């Protein structure tokens, strides 16, 4: 499993095709860029050169890491911290903090939603100024996408992995909204630990 797959989810809830994609990209950015714990071990972001490649892949330009310039890398990296705060606040049911954080991100990135049509697609909502710089456009999109979710009945779908020694974030798109883990790997770790604990109790 790649670094980025820790942010992938499958399930039944789709906010809209574009919004769903933006929210999943927010998960991917936070989990790629922010240090902490992942699946039972310490996690540090990759070195700058590798990080540019992985961010380019995440944002859909797999052919060139140059799409993520040094300046863009710094802007996206800076935004990843507040975006993580949004997931942590939502997990703690502190929607006031999450909303305040998103409002600051949207204001700072010049978010300006508008309808756009290109590449043969139907009209769909873009979340950034038409001529916004690359990184600012992405920050505006990610922040506004999460704001739409936070302001809906799906606000509780933004979460942080509850497995021991893991703090990767996720969006719960399951039918019943009971997801607790960032990945099947963490879910399996927790189940295995619970099984071992039961085995120890039966042998005592």
Question: What digits encode the pLDDT tens for the residues 106-164?
Answer: 999 999 988 888 788 788 788 887 788 899 999 999 999 999 999 999 999 999 999 99
Q: For residues 54 and 2, what is the distance between their CA atoms, to the nearest angstrom? A: 10
Coil/strand/helix, residue 40? coil
Q: 31, 38 in Cβ contact below 8 A?
A: yes
Question: What digits encode the pLDDT tens for the residues 84-109?
Answer: 999 999 999 999 999 999 999 999 99
| pLDDT score, position 7 | 41
| pLDDT score, position 123 | 85
The residue-averaged pLDDT of 165-172 equals 96
Question: What digits encode the pLDDT tens for the residues 41-98?
Answer: 999 999 999 999 999 999 987 666 777 899 999 999 999 999 999 999 999 999 999 9
Instruction: Return the CATH class of domain 14-156.
Output: mainly alpha
Q: Is pTM, for the whole model, over 0.75?
A: yes
Q: For residues 85 and 124, what is the distance between their CA atoms, to the nearest angstrom? A: 28
Inter-residue long-range contacts of 88-97, CB under 8 Å, 24+ positions, other chains counted: 88/160, 88/169, 90/150, 90/155, 90/156, 90/158, 90/159, 91/158, 91/159, 91/160, 93/156, 95/150, 95/155
């Amino acid at each position: 499993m790649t670094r980025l797959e820790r942010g992938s989810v499958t399930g039944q809830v789709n906010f809209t095709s574009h919004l769903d994609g933006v929210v999943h990209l927010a998960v991917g950015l936070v989990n790629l860029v922010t240090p902490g714990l992942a699946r039972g071990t310490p996690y540090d972001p990759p070195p700058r050169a590798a990080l540019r490649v992985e961010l380019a892949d995440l944002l859909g330009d797999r052919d060139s890491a140059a799409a993520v310039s040094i300046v863009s890398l710094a802007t996206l990296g800076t935004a990843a911290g507040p975006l993580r705060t949004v997931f942590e606040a939502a997990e703690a049911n502190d929607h006031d903090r999450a909303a305040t954080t998103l409002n600051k991100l949207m204001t700072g990135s010049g978010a300006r939603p508008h309808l756009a049509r290109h590449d043969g697609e139907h009209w769909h909502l873009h979340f950034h100024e038409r001529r916004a710089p690359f990184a600012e456009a992405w920050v505006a999109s990610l922040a506004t996408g999460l704001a739409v979710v936070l302001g809906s009945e799906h606000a509780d779908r933004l979460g942080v992995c509850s497995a021991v020694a893991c703090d990767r974030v996720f969006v719960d798109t399951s039918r019943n909204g009971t997801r607790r883990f960032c990945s099947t790997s963490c879910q399996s770790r927790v189940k295995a630990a619970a099984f071992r604990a039961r085995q120890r109790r039966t042998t005592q």
